[in-house]
Amino acid sequence: MIKTLVIAQQVWRETLRRKDLYVLFILLLAFFVALMTLNVFGLKSLVNHIKELGLLLVWIFGWFLTVGVSARQLPQEEKSGTIFSLLAKPVGRAELLIGKWLGASSLAGLATFFFYIILTGIVVARGGNFSPVLAAEAFLLQFCFIGVLAALGLLFSARMHGDAAATLTAVLSVAAFLLLPQAPQWSANLDGWQRQVLLAVYYALPHLEIFDLRRRMVYDWEALRLETLVMIIAYGVLMTAAFLLIAWLAYRNKKFSRDIL
Amino acid sequence: MKTIPTPAFRLRQDYAGQDGHPPKGGAQNQIPSRPACREGQGRIGISIAVMVLWCLAFALACRLLNRPELQKHAGAGLIAEVLGETRLEVSELFFEQADLVFHRGAGHFHRQVLDDWFTRMRKEVAPSGHFHLHNRGVLEIMPWLYFAAHADPRNVTAYTVAAFWLAGEAGRPDLAEGVLDEALRNNPGDYRVYMEKGNLAVREGKYAEASRFFNAAQVLFRKTTGGDKEQLRIDLAEILTYRGLLYELEGDPARAARNYREVTDMFPGRLRLKERMLELEKKLHAATPPEELLDAILLQRRVMCAENEDVKREE
């Protein structure tokens, strides 16, 4: 456990040193300032568009950060050669993977939490508000989403170059988020093996859209039922565990050569 | 390891001695050799050629931008310049977002093909049902209409819808007028802007002004080519009906009856209008005062706008 936490701590240090986070914070603030100075047909105190665009940005930035941090962890260790000194210590590859996942997902989760705080501050300053229960639920589900995404990034980076892993994670997750919910509608127009293949893809890929509570938050709907919330969280945990397991299977016998460094 | 020497490296080598260090022996030794001089002259030649080409390109760009058809686009704004034709799609997306906001985030109705766990979860997570924003809450659609109108300044619907709700639920006809003025600047030949301006004037009781706007709308309508034929018929009927009521107010029942006849020829099912036309033709006045009918039409229009939105969503 301690070893895992130490590895997670290293992920934090490395990411904070790279200053990606600060850039994202500054970008977010710049965007909010631009949004607040917008003169919409001479109307003031409109807040829903700030909520909507703000949450969209929080999601995009969280997504970007998670993919960026998780997919580069293992390839970076291999590229710099630190993987040899790391594995020379009594650290198992499973511990290494879990430590990296913990570091990446906790960092991205905390950054997202701060993004939420900034957004809430802006919304309150404009005279709007968020339902606290719904905001907590939304953050919790987004945190689960980050966990799944970080595990997916690690899975691809276990056998790929960092950039390739990041690209594949981004493409797959965006496709899963945007296109997968449409698959049942498309399958209605197909038959035979095409329908079967489409439905197989539909069930095999992670359903990331169910972690998204943005619309409920923006339009002040009631909070999610506890039963539903627990089921979605359980699904997130299951997907994360499955991806980490596959990542471990791919990584456990991987051979590293000093010659290719 | 061999490296390919760059021109700058070669230049440094020319200035340097055989061993790579600057040659000793005063200023005379520092004069560049003949090949270096030639290379320098060649660079100056290239620089001059680039400058000349740049000047020519600049002059040509100035010449081309002076053409009236290109100047028309120059006022489209930065978004239009950056997005190009994509802005039409972007504008439509913003307009759809306005529709979504109006329905409190509840998306379009889709018949469920599967009834699996994921579908059930999606249904639980996403808002569903049939809701509308009311009163000043409707104003929350304005930013999206603003974005739609600025992404594509020719999206007249975005302007007219914004003006309609600003004048109605928001109680800000002054802002609505500003929006329509902007629409007119960007779409001077579109009858729909004049039609909406006429509606706004009727709402404010400025009947003379409304008559002018509906006259302009009618003239521009005749010049309109293309578009949805059914929508064009509905719009023409609206213009003629309003203008007919305004003719009645101006004391010209014969012209009003002519307008109503044109409408009833297009839509034979409009029986009340037919009755009114017959009344005017026989008695030269109708039992219901035109002001009352104008108010009723405005109210009906507000209800129909919301209903049309719902019908479009269910389709």
Tell if the CB–CB gap between A209 and B139 is shorter than 8 Å.
Answer: no
Confidence (pLDDT) at B306? 56
Which residues in chain A (165-204) have CB-CB distances under 8 A to chain B? 181, 184-185, 187-188, 202
Could you tell me if B237 and B200 are in contact, meaning their C-beta atoms sit under 8 angstroms apart? no
**What is the ipTM for the molecules in this complex?**
0.84
Across B193-226, b (16+ Cβ under 10 Å) vs e yields bbbbbbbbbbbeeebeebbbbbebbbebbeeeee
pLDDT average, residue stretch A164-180:
92
Instruction: Tell whether A231 is within 8 A of chain B (Cβ).
Output: yes
- Mean pLDDT lowest for which of A89-98, A176-185, B216-225, B277-286? B277-286
Cβ <8 Å between B121 and A40: no
Q: What are phi and psi of A43, to 5 degrees?
A: -90, 145
Q: Which among B108, B131, B140 is the top mutation candidate for probing chain A, defined by the most A β-carbons within 10 Å of its own β-carbon? A: B140
Given a cut of 70, whether residue A260 has pLDDT beyond it is: no
In angstroms, the separation between the Cα of residue A200 and the nearest Cα of chain B is 13
User: Mean pLDDT across chain A, nearest whole number?
Assistant: 90
Q: Which of B125, B139, B150, B160 to mutate to test the interface with A (most CBs of A within 10 A)?
A: B125
Averaged pLDDT, A205-217: 92
Q: What is the enclosing helix (H) or strand (E) of A127?
A: none
Contact call for B125 and A213, based on CB within 8 A:
yes
Contacts of A36 in chain B (CB under 8 A): none
Task: Enumerate the β-bridge partners of residue A43.
Answer: A40
Question: Closest-CA residue in chain A for B171?
Answer: A43
Report the distance separating Cα B20 and Cα A20, nearest Å.
43
Taking CB atoms and an 8 Å limit, are A49 and B119 in contact across chains?
no
Residue B27 confidence (pLDDT): 42
- Which single residue is written with the structure tokens 């913003």? B94
Collapse the DSSP code of A113 into the 3-class scheme (helix H, G, I; strand E, B; otherwise coil) and give the result.
helix
Overall pTM > 0.80: no
pLDDT of res. B197:
93
Find the chain B residues whose C-beta atoms sit closer than 8 A to any C-beta of A. Answer: 97, 101, 104-105, 110, 112-114, 118-119, 121-122, 124-127, 139-140, 142-144, 146, 162, 166, 170, 172, 175, 178-179
Instruction: Name the percent of chain A lying above pLDDT 70.
Output: 98
CB contact under 8 A, A187 and B139: no
Cβ atoms within 10 A of the Cβ of A182, count?
11
Q: According to the model, what pLDDT value does residue A146 have?
A: 96
Residues A163-173 have a mean pLDDT of 93
Q: What is the mean pLDDT of each run of 10 residues along chain B (315 residues)?
A: 44 42 45 57 78 83 61 55 78 90 80 83 84 80 91 90 87 90 91 92 90 92 83 90 88 87 87 84 77 76 59 50
Residue B105 φ/ψ, nearest 5 degrees:
80, 0
